[in-house]
Amino acid sequence: MSKPMPDTSTADPSADERSLIETLVTRGRDAMRNFGSADQARVDDVVTAIAWSLYKTENARRLAELAVRETGIGNVTDKIVKNQRKTFGTLRDLMRVKTVGVIERDEQKGIVKYGKPVGVVAAITPSTNPSATPVNKTMMALKGGNAIIIAPSPAGWTSTSATVDVMRQALSRVDAPQDLVQILPQPVSRSITRLLMAQADLVVATGSQNNVRAAYSSGTPAIGVGAGNVPVIIDSTAALDETAQKICASKTFDNATSCSSENSLIILDDVYDAAVDALKRAGGYLVNATEKKAIRDKLWIKGKLNRNLIATDADVFRNRVGLGSGSADARFFIVEEPQFDAESLFADEKLSLVLTLYRAHNFNHAVSLVKQVLHVQGRGHSCGIHTEDGDHARRLAEEIDVVRVLVNQAHTFGNGGSFNNALNFTLSMGCGTWGGNSISENLNYRHFINITHLVTTTAEDKPSEQELFGAYLKKYGTN
């Protein structure tokens, strides 16, 4: 997640701001009308053009380089992978579904469903993913025949603007209206972003929780996503070296910018030491007490994450914090907590290559620790487990208030959709009412269409009173 946008405007919107938003929204509506006769094949061509605009190797690289140079967040190599992998996976999902015209027909029930646009979408996007997230949302929005106006984090405006440029060029190449995709001009203020949210037909907010709350209070139907702080259990049956490799790959990807990155590991006591050794072999460095204090003192400033340390390379983090020479080859940094403390900063999301470790006495204690971590932050988002015990995985699904429980997976790569699980590819994870969200699934195309139901009569389906009430009356009587 990105940090909250600076409050550059607390006053009411000016006349110029109102005029600007009215112009953008009008252009979006005009583009939708011009695109309104498109059939499914035409829509799919346009969505594919948007996908190719970022997936294309030279664009994926150039925009990744620009993002890192502008924001200082993440690393180029992984942002290229993210730009391409998320776009490819999302395109796969979108090409397999219908969204225009008749999208479903159930003759037995006498129902025919028609997909229709929701309208102009206001998309709030973060600085952590200034290219991948705008393209991801645009693909989904255009799949439903909508127009989209992107309100980027000011910290990533240049990168997002360059991304919008390549998308608009792609629309032009397939003779589609360019104004299906627009961006707020600089400077992007809270005032103008809130005005856009109020004028749009749907708001989709990814980023800080301030942005999500603003979306839900805009008066416009809104979809927001929750904060991450992923706890993952390693139990006694886990394949430790394989598990450690997955955790390292996931934790270090794009320098832990993902809200799905592991933030805490909860390891059962009987494999704790062996698991720590496996993490060290995978590239982890177990900090000592002095180094732990240095991380705590510098990663947070007055309780807020230090922007000069979040999502930085391991060498940069090491040098800026002042870790010892033993950490020279480390890819991520492990902090042990002797017991859970909700007031400890290490219990929270860290947006950095720092991983908190807890020792669980048994599996009951491990489940309790997961709940406690998520109570600090991340309730509703996700958790994970590395295990060969299916009952342990099922217990997490039954007891933990999260939308996703990942089993034996690198969390960053699995949580937002993967080629070896059935979750939709996305960069926006709904967290249900637990996380203050309206959706409890990965953001996907269904959230960008309205559905008209054509209803005809069928054979009567009316059960008898006995069928409906018989068992109840037999058990409780008629009084």
What is the total count of domains within the chain? 2
Q: How far apart are CA 339 and CA 359, in angstroms?
A: 8
* Phi-psi label, residue 398: left if phi above 0, alpha if psi -120 to 50, beta otherwise: alpha
Expressed as residue numbers, the domain containing 299 is 230-427
Q: Is the domain of 196 the same as that of 243?
A: no
DSSP of 372-425, one letter per residue? HHHHHTTTEEEEEEE-S-HHHHHHHHHHS-EEEEEESS-HHHHHT--TTS-SPP
Q: Is the domain of 299 the same as that of 217?
A: no
Q: Is the domain of 280 the same as that of 132?
A: no
State the sign of the Cα–Cα–Cα–Cα dihedral 7, 8, 13, 16: negative
Q: Is the domain of 246 the same as that of 355?
A: yes
Indicate whether 149 belongs to any domain. yes
Q: Is the domain of 154 the same as that of 290?
A: no
Q: Is the domain of 238 the same as that of 280?
A: yes
Q: Is the domain of 357 the same as that of 210?
A: no
259 as an active site residue: the answer is yes
Q: What is the pLDDT of residue 4?
A: 37
pLDDT of the chain, 479 residues: tens digit per residue: 333 333 434 467 789 999 999 999 999 999 999 999 999 999 999 999 999 999 999 999 999 999 999 999 999 999 999 999 999 999 999 999 999 999 999 999 999 999 999 999 999 999 999 999 999 999 999 999 999 999 999 999 999 999 999 999 999 999 999 999 999 999 999 999 999 999 999 999 998 888 899 999 999 999 999 899 999 999 999 999 999 999 999 999 999 999 999 999 999 999 999 999 999 999 999 999 999 999 999 999 999 999 999 999 999 999 999 999 999 999 999 999 999 999 999 999 999 999 999 999 999 999 999 999 999 999 999 999 999 999 999 999 999 999 999 999 999 999 999 999 999 999 999 999 999 999 999 999 999 999 999 999 999 999 999 999 999 999 999 98
Q: Is the domain of 50 the same as that of 180?
A: yes
Indicate whether 474 belongs to any domain. no
Q: What is the CATH number of the domain that holds 62?
A: 3.40.605.10
Strands 222-224 and 202-205: parallel
Q: What is the CB neighbour count within 10 angstroms for residue 467?
A: 9
Quick one: tokens of 158? 């240049």
At residue 212, the 3 state secondary structure works out as: helix
Q: How far apart are CA 438 and CA 408, in angstroms?
A: 28
Catalytic residue among 248, 259, 383, 431: 259
CA distances from residue 379 to 364, 418, 425 in whole angstroms, order as listed: 19, 22, 21
Q: Are 148 and 180 in contact (CB under 8 A)?
A: yes
Indicate whether 469 belongs to any domain. no
Q: What Rg value do the Cα atoms of the chain yield, rounded? A: 24
Q: How far apart are CA 250 and CA 76, in angstroms?
A: 16
Q: What is the pLDDT of residue 8?
A: 37
Indicate whether 264 belongs to any domain. yes
Indicate whether 3 belongs to any domain. no
Indicate whether 473 belongs to any domain. no
Q: Is the domain of 207 the same as that of 283?
A: no
Q: What is the pLDDT of residue 211?
A: 86
Indicate whether 65 belongs to any domain. yes
Q: Is the domain of 314 the same as that of 415?
A: yes
DSSP 429: B
Per residue in 432-442, pLDDT tens?
Answer: 999 999 999 99
Quick one: tokens of 21? 């938003």
Q: What is the CATH number of the domain that holds 251?
A: 3.40.309.10
Q: Is the domain of 122 the same as that of 39?
A: yes
Indicate whether 471 belongs to any domain. no
Q: How far apart are CA 267 and CA 233, in angstroms?
A: 6
Q: Is the domain of 236 the same as that of 361?
A: yes
